[in-house]
Amino acid sequence: MSKSACSRLPFRFVSFLGLLLWLAAVQAPAQTNQQNVLVIEGGTLIDGNGGAPVRDALIIIRGNQIETVSRKGQAQYPAGARVLQADGKFIVPGLMDAHCHYQDWMPELMLHFGVTSIFEIGGGGEWGLAQQEAVARGKIPGPRIFVAAGSIAGARIAALSGRTGAEGPLSGRQVVATAAQARDVVRRFSAAGADMIKVHRGPPLEVYRAAIDEAHQAGLPVVAQPLGPTVYAREAVLAGADILEHAAGVAYSIVKDPAKWEGFGTTIEVHSIDPTPFADMDDAKAAELIQLMVDRNVYLEPDFIAVGRGFQAGRRKFELQDYQLMQNPGLAYVPARRRLKILGTYREFDEMDPAEWEQRHKGYLNMLRFIKMYVDAGGKVMSGTDTAGWAIPGIGLHHELEILVEEAGLTPMQAIVSATRNPAEGFRILDRLGTIEAGKLADLMIVNADPLEEIGNLQQIEWVVQDGNVIDRTFHAWFENPLPRGATVEARAWVAALKSQTIQKDPTWAFGQPPPGIESISPHRATEGDPALTLTIGGVNFTTKSAVHFDGKPVPARFVNDAELQVTIAAGLIASAGNYAITVTNPEPLQRLEWGGTSNKAHLLVNFRY
């Protein structure tokens, strides 16, 4: 093909072609590597269990599974095996980010920095489940995804976030007020394939108890963010929660004067990552709570890279590394607003009132001290970042590990375990992942300097192996996820405001067309290659002149009433997997110019056909 002809190819085709080439390069395990043998010869093995490193290791990987872990000269391997000479290098398990809100643009960043598994604990919904399966089946490169289908929340926090579960049965946050409702939601999430159950803040204690009991009956761990108004860390632990994200609710449970902090966590969303109450920590209460959590094998996931946001001792270095990384032309596809958001977090509190800054800083330091106390007492910590809100994927986890070592005082070995074995154990997948042992899936990385001498050496990566394949760690400016993330219905708060201010019952629309808004679509998921389908759009201000666009293309629409349209989606429009935008437009003259004539977006998720 000539250069001029190539330049005329549509961008999506070029992106898809590049994706196919990348998939070929990483040798998608589900299709190509069942008979492949990879040998890692030499190097010092840090297997993730926390024991003494093993020099001159020999690891034999067949397909996607570790077959043998021994020493050089102690095992034979096939002559045709691919051999990675690791003498002088260090071998560690693939890293795990225990707190992620996964986005479609993250795969390359995660894999580049050796993050081979992530835990999408915010929910993920049907998109998260579809993305998980696509990665597992080799359709999309990326880290392994373990997902909570949705989350359970109280009405107040759900309303504060604008996510009330109205998007669908697998969305967050599902407002739950009774034990029976909690059990129903857990069963629904479990049946959909959730790997964990998330209980957010707000529900009463009986909801926590019922959700945790139901989850444990299904063999699922429970991640909790207990920030009141009645359930905090102590109550959640006694109810049986397995993991406390952000170490949420801990500070309230150990403050000297709980009355001083009444309502904390129930008024604004960002209280979940506000360490200020730790400034009022009572060490005796802290020791008592620590013993309770250790006895009940609770995992704490603190997210210091998110909680600190400029208070970190390594702030200048982290900020510079992030800035330099975001200048890489291969990462041109990272959304600009996300770049600005993450880079801006380091300066979030620079203009804060000095007294308030000092109080928050003291809280941050005491939180670090609490985590060290917890680990010293035998407690288990998981490393996570709360990306994409507060950290760049991949490198953010390395920064979290540096904070644990250089500020909290953990040893480098303890930090490595916090990003390998501990997440795997806490999320109940230690039988498959988390350590380098025979019989486990082959996720690991080889670095060029000793991370036990300097935890930052984990960034000196030579190779990343995932599912037995050596990963292509370069960034590709053409990367485009074939299943882009998009809410089933966007801008719900906008629609609610529109509905309250503009709806009217005059069928003639004598003063012009009203601004339309979408509240729901049904169905909200299809499979590539499905026949034509009829889509019901629910909303406000639909008229006989309303036009519907699907992926930017006009589609036939039938007016049912001002709250419903029936739309025909031709088979050709859903022949390929994707997440397709849907809008409704009313023509001019417009009744209310300030609202415009085009609705918010909805999305129809078209999954791969397997």
CA–CA gap between residue 478 and residue 185 (Å, rounded): 39
For 4-48, the pLDDT digits (tens) are 344 344 445 445 555 555 555 544 444 444 469 999 999 999 999
CA–CA gap between residue 292 and residue 286 (Å, rounded): 10
Which residue bears the tokens 């001498």? 453
CA–CA gap between residue 500 and residue 167 (Å, rounded): 19
For 113-165, the pLDDT digits (tens) are 999 999 999 888 899 999 999 999 999 999 999 999 999 998 876 565 555 55
What is the average pLDDT across 49-59?
97
What number of residues does the chain have?
610
For 295-343, the pLDDT digits (tens) are 999 999 999 999 999 999 999 999 999 999 999 999 999 999 999 999 9
Residue 348 DSSP symbol: T
Distances (CA, A) of 132 to 127, 146, 443, 469, 580: 8, 7, 16, 18, 19
Do 540 and 519 touch, CB atoms closer than 8 A? yes
Which residue bears the tokens 């601004």? 515
CA–CA gap between residue 150 and residue 224 (Å, rounded): 13
pLDDT at position 466 is: 97
For 547-597, the pLDDT digits (tens) are 999 999 999 999 999 999 999 999 999 999 999 999 999 999 988 888 999
CA–CA gap between residue 530 and residue 536 (Å, rounded): 17
CA–CA gap between residue 419 and residue 422 (Å, rounded): 7
Instruction: Say whether 249 sits in a helix, a strand or coil.
Output: coil
CA–CA gap between residue 521 and residue 509 (Å, rounded): 25
* CA nearest to 605, candidates 486, 490, 492: 486
* Strand residue runs (E) in 19-56: 37-41, 44-45
Which residue bears the tokens 């761990």? 221
Give the pairing of strands 299-301 and 380-381.
parallel
- One-letter identity of residue 428: R
pTM, two decimal places: 0.91
Do 476 and 16 touch, CB atoms closer than 8 A? no
- Structural domains in the chain, CATH included, are 10-149+312-348+382-482 (2.30.40.10), 150-192+196-303 (3.40.50), 492-607 (2.60.40.10)
Tokens standing for 447? 């670095």
CA–CA gap between residue 476 and residue 495 (Å, rounded): 37
Strand partners, 549: 554, 583
> How many other C-beta atoms can be found within 10 angstroms of the C-beta atom of residue 70?
15
Which range is least confidently modeled, 257-266, 477-486, 490-499, 546-555?
A: 257-266
φ and ψ at 63, to 5 degrees?
A: 65, -125
Which range is least confidently modeled, 8-17, 30-39, 375-384, 505-514?
A: 8-17
C-alpha count within 13 angstroms, C-beta hemisphere, residue 499? 15
Instruction: Say whether 320 sits in a helix, a strand or coil.
Output: helix
Give the pairing of strands 602-607 and 115-120.
unpaired
Question: Residue 593: which residues within 8 A CB-CB, separation 6 or more?
Answer: none
φ and ψ at 549, to 5 degrees?
A: -120, 135
Question: 140, exposed or middle or buried, with CB in 10 Å at 0-12, 13-18, 19+?
Answer: buried
> How many other C-beta atoms can be found within 10 angstroms of the C-beta atom of residue 4?
7
CA–CA gap between residue 570 and residue 535 (Å, rounded): 11
CA–CA gap between residue 334 and residue 337 (Å, rounded): 9
Which residue bears the tokens 């400016």? 477
